[in-house]
Amino acid sequence: MNIRASTEQDKQDIFQLHRDTFAEEEAEAVAKLALELLEDETALPLLSLVAEQDGDIVGHILFSSVSVEGADKHQGYILAPLAVLSNQQGRGIGSALIRRGLDILKTRRGEFVLVLGDPKYYSRTGFAAGHGISPPYELAYPQAWMALELKKDALKNIKGKVQCAASLSPAQYW
Ligand SMILES: CC(C)(COP(=O)(O)OP(=O)(O)OC[C@H]1O[C@@H](n2cnc3c(N)ncnc32)[C@H](O)[C@@H]1OP(=O)(O)O)[C@@H](O)C(=O)NCCC(=O)NCCS
């Protein structure tokens, strides 16, 4: 399995991957979101990685830029979306995409990463709830709103509401 930055030519495969992998009721919306984020200037700086197996794209992860209202300028990111093709799941590809992404963001001097997802899954790579950054909307499961520091104590004094890229801001994604 090889992980690399996605290119313009991968866009259709990325769309298809999310559409095939997410549950039917959200698949189309997530697939569109992935493509919109890739073209969204308000998402920059952005990191988009694909996992390849025998020349086929089997996984994709995207990190887009966020800011925090009322806080100093910080280089923060949000992880969304992430998907690994059903027949390739459980082989460590999702975790490898997350870890590689975090490593690259560290080298880019990123400070923190947010995610809204399953705590059982994301806690495996160090994400935890209980930080000071609020989501843009009230959440049904606040424990699913997690963060990870890329730099020691990066989240210690940050309080405020997150401001995401325009394409990630509609309430339907939260
Ligand atoms: C979530 C997802 C990306 C994980 O990818 P993956 O390549 O299978 O992940 P890994 O192989 O690194 O980790 C698999 C482990 O995580 C566990 N896991 C996967 N999804 C989980 C979840 N939602 N909650 C808890 N554990 C989960 C698996 O049971 C497995 O456990 P094991 O190692 O003890 O066997 C993949 O299942 C997926 O694409 N799901 C559909 C889309 C989705 O839900 N994306 C995340 C949105 S927040």
Residue with CA closest to ligand 1 atom 27: 121
Q: Is the peptide bond before 142 cis (omega within 30 degrees of 0)?
A: no
Question: Per residue in 18-61, pLDDT tens?
Answer: 999 999 999 999 999 999 999 999 999 999 999 999 999 999 99
Q: Please state the atom number of ligand 1 nearest to the C-alpha of residue 81.
A: 47
Q: Which CATH architecture has domain 2-168?
A: 3-Layer(aba) Sandwich (3.40)
User: Would you state the pLDDT for residue 72?
Assistant: 79
* Residues of the chain predicted below pLDDT 70: none
Angle at 4 between CA 121 and CA 164, to 5 degrees: 55
What number does the ligand 1 atom closest to the CA of 85 have? 39
Please compute, for residue 25, the number of CA atoms within 13 A of its CA located in the half-sphere on the CB side: 2
The continuous run of DSSP H or E covering 56 comes out as strand 56-68
Tell me, what's the pLDDT at 60?
98
Distance CA 47, CA 129 (A): 23
Q: Which residue's CA is the closest to the ligand 1 atom numbered 21?
A: 121
**Tally of CB atoms within 10 A around 122:** 24
Per domain, the residue ranges of the chain are 2-168
Q: What is the pLDDT of residue 105?
A: 98
- The pLDDT, as a whole number, for residue 88 is 97
Query: Candidates 85, 89, 168, 174: which one to mutate for ligand 1, based on the most atoms within 8 Å of Cβ?
Result: 89
Q: How far apart are CA 13 and CA 19, in angstroms?
A: 10
